[in-house]
C-alpha cells in the first residue's frame, strides 16, 4: 500500500502551500483501520466476505479485492462495493475456503486521486501458532508427531490385531492343541484413545478455549478419533469383536480429513489417505500378531508354515495397496524439485527407504517360506515388524510437517492478550511495526515497493533478531519465530518500567539495520483519548510544525522544515484523523507527560504522540513502511 508516507514528501509543498493560501485542505491518503477477517487472524469458519474499513472515503473498482491461497491460486470473489460514505469496502467470497492460509490484496483510490494498495493474511480452521526464525521456513511439530505416532501404532494394533487373530484362528482350527495367542487389539484401542485425548488437550491449550473441540477442524478430528477408539475398545470386549472394524473405519476417515492430501484434493484426498492408513495398519498390525503366533508355535512347523502362508496371501494385496496409495499421495504433494530441497521431501525419502527395506524383508521371508528355511524366516519376520514400526514413526512426522505446497503458510501469531502497546520505526530501509502485549511481541517488517503501486512485485526474504533490555536487569535474547512473510513473534516477559527492545531487521534487496523500540510497561488502554486529541487539534487555528523525515534511518534526519498551518490541515494527513486507531495505549513518561501510542498494523503505520495539559500534540513520531517523520509543535502562546 502507498500511504501518507509514500508520496508525502512530493506533495508536502503543494499541500501546505495551498493551506497557507487559504485553499481547501488536501486530504491524506486513506489508511486501513480494520479488516474482517482481521489482520493475521485465524477463524474457525470460512468467511463469506472480506471487509476493509478506512479512515476516510475511497473509491474502488469491481475487482478491488482479490483472495488467493498461499500457492497463488485465485479464490472467486464478487464485485467490491462501498458503504458508509465510502469508508467501508466489502467484497463477497464466492469460492469455498478450505483449511489453510489466505492472502487478501486490495486496491483503492483516495479523494486526492492517488492509488493505494495493501495486503494481509488470515487462516481458516487453523490454530494460531508460528514457527521458524526467518519467514518462509518449514518445520516439524515433534510433539504432534510423537502423539500421532502413538495414535497410528494404536490403530495398527487394533485393526491388524483383529485380522491377525482371524488368520491365526484358521491354524488353531486345524490343530486345537496350539496355544491361544491373544491379540493386542484392546491395548491398541486404548493406546489410540489416549493419543486422541492428548491431541485434543494440546489443541485446546493452543487455542485457549474448550469450544475449539467442536468448532474447529483439528478439534473435531480429535473428538472423532477418541469416540472411534472408545467404541472399538467397547466392542472388542464383547462377543462381536469384528464390529470394532466400523469405529476404526471412522478413525481412518477422520485422519483422512486432516491430511495434506485432503487440502490438495478435498474429499478424494481424504479418501486416499484413509485407505493408505487402513492398509498400512493391516500390514503392520497383522504381521505383528503373526510374528507373535509363529514365535509361540515354533515347535509346530506345520502350524507356523500354515499361518505364514495365510498372512502372505493377504500381505500381497495389502502391500500393493500401500504402494499405489503412497505413490499417488507423493505425486500429489511433492513436486520433483522438492524431494531433496524440503524437509517434507527428505522425510518422505526416509519413509520410502524404510518401506523398501520392509518389502525386501518380506520377499526374503517368502523365499524362506517357499524353501522351508524357517530359521531364516524367524529372523526376517521380526525385522520386518520393527521396520514397519519405524515406518509409522516417519509417517507421523510427515503428518506433522508442512507439505512443500504449503511453504510460506506459517500460521498467524497468537492474538494480543491484555493491553497492546504499539511501536514502530525504520531499520535502515526496512519498516518495523511492533505490537507488545502480555507475554509476547509481534513484529512485522515492511519494505518500500518499487515501481507503480499496482505493478507486480516479488516478496523479499526477511530475517529478524532481537534483544530485550529490561529496566531492572541484564539484557536478554529474544527468540523470534516466523508467523508469515515479514511477520515474527516471540515470547517476552515485560518488566514494569521502560523496556528497550533492540531489533536487527534484514530484507533481501534492501538495506537493513537496527531499531530500538521503547515499550512502557504496563500501559493503559487509550479509551477515548484518540478522539479527544483529534477534537483538540481541530479547534486550533494555527500551529507551527518543525518536521524532518527520512526513508533510510541509517542516513539520519535532515534539517527540519518549518510550516504553519491550522489544526484541521495538519490532521488531514494523519492516519488517526477519524479519531479511531486499531491499537491505542497511553503511558506517562518520567517527566510526567502523557504519551499516546497508536498502531495501524494493516497499513504498517505507527504514531507516537506527546500531549500537553490541554490535550494538544507537542511531539509526534509518525512511521510507515517507507518513511519516518519527527515533528515538534509550537503554539502561538509559546512564541
Q: How confident is the model at residue 409 (pLDDT cuts 50, 70, 90)?
A: low
DSSP-assigned beta bridge partners for residue 540:
none
The residue-averaged pLDDT of 253-259 equals 80
- One domain for residues 402 and 478: no
Q: How confident is the model at residue 18 (pLDDT cuts 50, 70, 90)?
A: very low
Distances (CA, A) of 263 to 6, 370, 447: 39, 44, 32
> pLDDT of 540-591, one tens digit each?
999 999 888 888 777 777 778 888 999 999 998 888 988 888 889 998 876 6
Instruction: Note the pLDDT of residue 337.
Output: 59
> Number of folded domains in the chain?
2
Q: How many whole angstroms separate alpha carbon 392 and alpha carbon 410?
A: 26
Sequence-distant (6+) residues with CB within 8 A of 617 are: 533, 537, 609, 610, 611, 633
Instruction: Note the pLDDT of residue 638.
Output: 56
- If one compares 164 and 304, the residue with the highest pLDDT of the two is 164
- One domain for residues 119 and 155: no
> pLDDT of 62-93, one tens digit each?
899 999 876 778 889 999 999 888 888 999 99
Q: Supply the range of the domain harboring residue 433.
A: 4-123+412-638
Res 13 pLDDT > 50: no
Res 596 pLDDT > 90: yes
Q: Grid cell 486404548 — which residue?
A: 190
C-alpha grid cell, residue 220:
473435531
Residue 157 lies in a domain: yes
Residue 625 lies in a domain: yes
Residue 53 lies in a domain: yes
Sequence-distant (6+) residues with CB within 8 A of 638 are: none
Distances (CA, A) of 317 to 252, 270, 305, 370, 444: 19, 21, 19, 18, 53
Instruction: Note the pLDDT of residue 537.
Output: 94
Strand order in the sheet with 32-36: 32-36, 49-54, 88-92, 81-83
Cα 262 from chain centre:
18
Looking at 353, 374, 406, the residue that finishes a domain is: 406
Res 207 pLDDT > 60: no
Res 285 pLDDT > 60: yes
Looking at 355, 376, 406, the residue that finishes a domain is: 406
Task: Answer whether 284's CB lies under 8 Å from 355's CB.
Answer: no
Q: How confident is the model at residue 41 (pLDDT cuts 50, 70, 90)?
A: low
**How much of the chain, in percent, has pLDDT values that exceed 70?**
69
Q: Is 397 strand, coil or helix? A: helix
Instruction: Note the pLDDT of residue 336.
Output: 63
Instruction: Note the pLDDT of residue 174.
Output: 67
Instruction: Note the pLDDT of residue 436.
Output: 92
Query: Which stretch, 358-372, 395-409, 615-629, has highest mean pLDDT?
Result: 615-629
The total of other beta-carbon atoms located within 10 Å of residue 612's CB is: 15
- If one compares 93 and 354, the residue with the highest pLDDT of the two is 93
> pLDDT of 516-553, one tens digit each?
888 888 889 988 999 999 999 999 999 999 888 888 77
DSSP-assigned beta bridge partners for residue 42:
123
Res 263 pLDDT > 70: no
- One domain for residues 245 and 288: yes
Instruction: Note the pLDDT of residue 17.
Output: 40
Res 142 pLDDT > 70: no
Looking at 346, 380, 406, the residue that finishes a domain is: 406
Among 443, 557, 550, which residue's Cα sits nearest to residue 501? 443
Q: Concatenated DSSP letters for 5-52?
A: HHHHHHHHHHHHHHHHTTPPPPPPPP-EEEEESPTTEEESS--SEEEE
> pLDDT of 424-440, one tens digit each?
888 888 889 899 999 99
The total of other beta-carbon atoms located within 10 Å of residue 248's CB is: 26
Q: How confident is the model at residue 378 (pLDDT cuts 50, 70, 90)?
A: low
Res 140 pLDDT > 80: no
Residue 129 lies in a domain: no
- One domain for residues 328 and 471: no
Q: How many whole angstroms separate alpha carbon 400 and alpha carbon 275?
A: 19
Where are the alpha helices (H) located in 237-373, listed in sequence order?
A: 245-257, 260-264, 268-296, 301-333, 343-370
Q: How many whole angstroms separate alpha carbon 230 and alpha carbon 227?
A: 5
Phi (first) and psi of residue 568, to 5 degrees: -65, -40
Instruction: Note the pLDDT of residue 385.
Output: 64
Q: How many whole angstroms separate alpha carbon 136 and alpha carbon 459?
A: 11
C-alpha grid cell, residue 532:
479527544
Q: How many whole angstroms separate alpha carbon 610 and alpha carbon 309?
A: 84
Q: Which of 1-15, 146-160, 237-251, 371-385 is least confident? A: 1-15
- One domain for residues 55 and 196: no
> pLDDT of 303-345, one tens digit each?
666 676 777 777 777 777 777 877 777 766 666 656 666 666 6
Phi (first) and psi of residue 617, to 5 degrees: -80, 130
C-alpha grid cell, residue 537:
487539534
> pLDDT of 491-524, one tens digit each?
999 998 888 888 999 988 888 888 888 888 888 9
- One domain for residues 453 and 495: yes
Q: What angle do CA 64, 69, 75 make, to 5 degrees?
A: 50
> How much is the mean pLDDT over the chain?
76
Residue 185 lies in a domain: yes
State the SS3 of 81-97.
EEECCCCEEEEEECCCC
373 HSE (CA, 13 A, CB side): 12
Instruction: Note the pLDDT of residue 374.
Output: 58
Res 467 pLDDT > 70: yes
Instruction: Note the pLDDT of residue 9.
Output: 41
Greatest Cα-to-Cα distance within the chain, rounded to the nearest angstrom: 111
**How much of the chain, in percent, has pLDDT values that exceed 90?**
12
- One domain for residues 341 and 489: no
Among 406, 471, 418, 468, which residue's Cα sits nearest to residue 443? 468
- One domain for residues 101 and 171: no
Instruction: Note the pLDDT of residue 40.
Output: 56
- One domain for residues 236 and 317: yes
Residue 132 lies in a domain: no
The residue-averaged pLDDT of 395-401 equals 61
- One domain for residues 564 and 421: yes
Instruction: Note the pLDDT of residue 403.
Output: 56
Instruction: Note the pLDDT of residue 542.
Output: 92
- One domain for residues 401 and 417: no
- One domain for residues 462 and 593: yes
Instruction: Note the pLDDT of residue 442.
Output: 92
Q: Grid cell 479509551 — which residue?
A: 527
Instruction: Note the pLDDT of residue 367.
Output: 60
Q: How many whole angstroms separate alpha carbon 226 and alpha carbon 487?
A: 35
Instruction: Note the pLDDT of residue 222.
Output: 85
Check which CATH number belongs to the domain holding 167 and give it: 1.20.1630
Res 52 pLDDT > 70: yes
Instruction: Note the pLDDT of residue 568.
Output: 92
Instruction: Note the pLDDT of residue 10.
Output: 40
Instruction: Note the pLDDT of residue 364.
Output: 64
| CA-only gyration radius of the chain, Å | 31
* Omega prior to 440 cis, within 30 of 0: no
In terms of pTM, does the model score above 0.85?
no
Residue 504 lies in a domain: yes
Instruction: Note the pLDDT of residue 455.
Output: 37
292 HSE (CA, 13 A, CB side): 18
Residue 133 lies in a domain: no
- If one compares 330 and 462, the residue with the highest pLDDT of the two is 462
Amino acid at each position: 500500500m502507498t500511504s501518507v508516507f509514500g508520496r508525502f514528501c512530493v506533495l508536502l509543498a503543494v499541500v501546505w502551500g495551498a493551506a497557507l493560501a487559504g485553499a481547501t485542505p488536501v486530504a491524506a491518503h486513506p489508511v486501513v483501520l480494520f479488516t474482517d477477517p482481521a489482520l493475521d487472524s485465524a477463524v474457525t469458519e470460512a468467511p463469506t466476505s472480506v471487509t476493509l474499513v478506512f479512515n476516510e472515503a475511497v473509491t474502488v473498482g469491481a475487482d478491488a479485492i482479490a483472495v488467493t491461497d498461499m500457492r497463488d491460486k485465485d479464490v472467486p470473489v464478487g464485485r467490491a462495493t462501498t458503504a458508509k460514505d465510502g469508508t467501508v469496502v466489502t467484497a463477497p467470497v464466492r469460492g469455498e475456503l478450505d483449511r489453510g492460509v489466505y492472502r487478501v490484496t486490495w486496491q483503492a483510490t483516495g479523494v486526492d486521486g492517488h492509488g493505494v494498495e495493501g495486503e494481509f493474511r488470515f487462516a481458516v480452521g487453523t490454530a494460531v501458532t508460528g514457527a521458524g526464525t526467518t519467514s518462509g521456513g518449514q518445520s516439524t511439530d515433534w510433539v504432534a508427531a510423537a502423539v500421532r505416532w502413538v495414535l497410528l501404532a494404536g490403530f495398527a494394533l487394533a485393526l491388524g490385531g483383529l485380522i491377525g487373530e482371524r488368520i491365526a484362528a484358521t491354524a488353531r482350527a486345524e490343530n486345537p492343541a496350539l496355544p491361544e495367542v491373544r491379540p493386542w487389539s484392546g491395548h491398541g484401542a486404548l493406546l489410540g484413545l489416549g493419543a486422541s485425548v492428548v491431541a485434543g488437550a494440546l489443541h485446546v491449550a493452543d487455542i485457549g478455549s474448550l469450544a475449539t473441540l467442536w468448532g474447529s477442524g483439528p478439534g473435531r478430528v480429535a473428538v472423532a478419533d477418541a469416540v472411534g477408539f472408545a467404541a472399538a475398545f467397547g466392542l472388542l470386549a464383547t462377543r462381536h469383536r469384528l464390529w470394532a472394524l466400523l469405529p476404526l473405519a471412522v478413525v481412518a476417515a477422520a485422519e483422512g480429513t486432516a491430511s495434506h492430501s485432503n487440502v490438495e484434493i478435498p474429499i478424494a484426498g481424504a479418501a486416499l489417505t484413509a485407505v493408505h492408513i487402513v492398509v498400512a495398519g493391516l500390514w503392520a498390525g497383522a504381521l505383528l500378531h503373526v510374528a507373535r503366533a509363529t514365535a509361540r508355535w515354533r515347535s509346530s512347523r506345520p502350524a507356523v508354515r500354515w499361518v505364514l502362508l495365510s498372512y502372505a496371501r493377504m500381505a500381497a494385496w495389502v502391500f500393493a495397496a500401500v504402494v499405489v496409495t503412497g505413490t499417488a499421495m507423493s505425486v500429489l504433494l511433492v513436486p520433483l524439485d522438492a524431494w531433496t530441497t524440503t524437509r517434507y521431501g527428505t522425510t518422505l525419502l526416509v519413509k520410502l527407504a524404510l518401506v523398501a527395506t520392509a518389502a525386501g524383508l518380506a520377499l526374503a521371508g517368502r523365499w524362506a517360506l517357499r524353501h522351508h528355511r524357517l530359521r531364516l524366516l524367524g529372523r526376517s519376520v521380526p525385522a520386518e515388524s520393527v521396520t514397519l514400526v519405524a515406518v509409522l514413526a516417519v509417517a507421523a512426522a510427515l503428518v506433522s510437517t508442512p507439505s512443500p505446497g504449503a511453504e510460506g503458510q506459517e500460521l498467524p501469531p497468537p492474538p494480543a492478550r491484555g493491553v497492546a502497546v504499539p511501536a514502530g520505526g525504520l531499520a535502515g530501509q526496512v519498516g518495523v511495526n511492533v505490537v507488545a502485549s502480555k507475554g509476547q511481541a509481534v513484529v512485522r517488517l515492511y519494505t518500500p515497493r518499487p515501481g507503480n503501486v499496482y505493478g507486480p512485485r516479488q516478496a523479499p526474504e526477511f530475517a529478524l533478531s532481537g534483544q530485550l533490555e529490561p529496566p531492572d536487569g541484564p539484557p536478554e535474547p529474544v527468540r523470534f519465530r516466523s508467523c508469515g512473510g515479514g511477520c515474527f513473534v516471540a515470547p517476552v516477559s515485560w518488566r514494569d518500567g521502560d523496556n528497550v527492545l533492540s531489533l536487527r531487521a534484514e530484507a533481501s534487496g534492501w538495506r537493513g539495520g537496527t531499531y530500538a523500540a521503547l515499550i512502557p510497561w504496563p500501559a493503559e488502554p487509550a479509551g477515548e483519548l484518540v478522539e479527544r486529541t483529534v477534537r483538540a487539534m481541530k479547534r486550533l487555528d494555527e500551529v507551527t510544525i518543525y518536521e524532518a523525515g527520512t526513508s533510510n534511518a541509517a542516513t539520519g534526519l535532515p534539517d527540519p522544515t518549518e510550516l504553519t498551518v491550522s489544526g484541521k490541515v495538519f490532521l488531514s494527513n494523519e492516519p488517526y484523523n477519524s479519531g479511531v486507531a486499531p491499537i491505542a495505549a497511553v503511558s506517562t513518561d518520567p517527566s510526567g507527560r502523557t504519551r499516546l501510542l497508536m498502531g495501524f498494523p494493516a497499513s504498517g503505520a505507527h504514531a507516537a504522540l506527546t500531549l500537553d495539559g490541554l490535550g494538544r500534540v507537542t511531539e509526534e513520531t509518525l512511521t510507515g513502511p517507507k518513511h519516518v517523520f519527527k515533528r515538534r509543535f509550537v503554539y502561538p502562546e509559546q512564541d
